[in-house]
Structure formats: structure tokens, C-alpha cells
Amino acid sequence: MSQSFYNESSNQNNFNQQQSLNHGGHEMMDMHETIGEITAGMNQAIILRPHIKDPELLSILDRQYNFTLGMYNTIVESFKTGHDPAVPTGRYQMETGNNFKYGMTPGQPKKPMQNANEINDEMISGFLLGAQKGAAKCMTTAALETTNPVVRRVVADSIPNCIEMGYELSIYQNKHGYYQVPQYSQQDMQIMLNAHETTSNPLH
């Protein structure tokens, strides 16, 4: 009885070890870069948080940080074990609308900071947006290089959350005039919108 139990436990341990080592070389490197990118973004949020003046931006940072913390744990667990994580990938929900203001208005030219005291909510929201864009790019590359099916799914399912968080930050920036969105003329837009047509010719 004890011998049989030992053999079953040993087989299970071997299976777990095989699953945890079910990673290719490119996957290992890209996953390390992805996890590092997520960590850097979280660290940056912690550093920037005390300098935020706008309560709305502070609320966005806190919501996004807390969600990213869960995403980080889910990705790390699936990467280390090769198994489904205890907490599955969630879905980030924005608490703002999605209206953009289009058009450009003149303003002061931007230039690099001269000292740390110049930091403001415009810069902070830009840093946070850059972190989300960087994480989304790293995750996309990693998902395309990943051989472990669980890790690939977890990482691929996390990309839309980075896009959503980046979108929320871009809406915040646009609302406050930090991020302006130019548009083509209506004539040029119509030409481009009508440049393609749907088709119904599937292969048989």
C-alpha cells in the first residue's frame, strides 16, 4: 500500500516537474522580459503615486495597480508551474467614459524636465501610459513565442487588459488636454473609410 502510494506520488511529482519545464528557449527569455516589464511598471507606479495631485488620476493608478498585481501573480504562477493558475485571468473594467475630444489647439512646446520638482499629473499619466504600452508589446511577443499552452493562454488573455488600462489613461490625458488627437478632413476620412469593401467568397 505504502509502496503504491509512493509510486503514484513519484509519478505525479515527475509530471509536475515535466510541466514546469515545458518551456522553449525563446519563451523563457520573452517571459523574463515580460515579467520584468510588468514589475517595472508596478514599481514606477509606487514611486509616482505620492506626487499625484488629481484625485481622479490617483483613483486610476490605484485601480490599475491592484488589478496588475493580480495579473502579475497569475502570470508568474502559470510560468513557474506550467499549470492553470489558482486565480484565472481577470478582466479590467474602466470606470470612465470613452469619449475623445478631436482636434488640435496651440500650446507651449514640450521639453525635457530640468529638475524633479517639475513633475506633474501630465507627466505621471504619460509614464503610466507608457508602462501599459510596453507591457502589451512584451506580452504580444511572448505569447507568439510561447510553447507552453497554459502560459500562452494566460499571457494572451492579459494583453486586452493592458490595452484597456492604456486606453483609460489616454482618455484621462485627452480630457485634460495632455494628449490631443488630430483628424483628417471629412473628405479624406470618407475616402479612406470607403477604400475597402467586405466580401463573401470563402474557400471551399
**For cell 503504491, what's the residue?**
4
Tens place of pLDDT per residue across the chain (204 aa): 444 444 444 455 554 555 556 777 888 899 999 999 999 999 999 999 999 999 999 999 999 999 999 999 999 999 999 889 999 999 999 988 888 899 988 888 888 989 999 999 999 999 999 999 999 999 999 999 999 999 999 999 999 999 999 999 999 999 999 999 999 999 999 999 999 999 888 888
pTM of the model: 0.85
- pLDDT value at residue 9: 47
Torsions phi, psi for 203 (to 5 deg) = -75, 145
The answer to whether 56 touches 172, Cβ cutoff 8 Å, is: yes
The x, y and z cell numbers of residue 186, run together, are: 471629412
Asked whether 147 and 153 are in contact (CB, 8 A), the reply is no
* DSSP bridge partners of 181: 102, 103
Grid cell 509606487 is found at 46
Domain borders along the chain are 23-88+120-193
pLDDT at 15: 46
Instruction: For domain 23-88+120-193, give the CATH number.
Output: 1.20.1260
List all residues 6 or more positions away from 117 whose beta carbon is below 8 Å from its beta carbon.
none
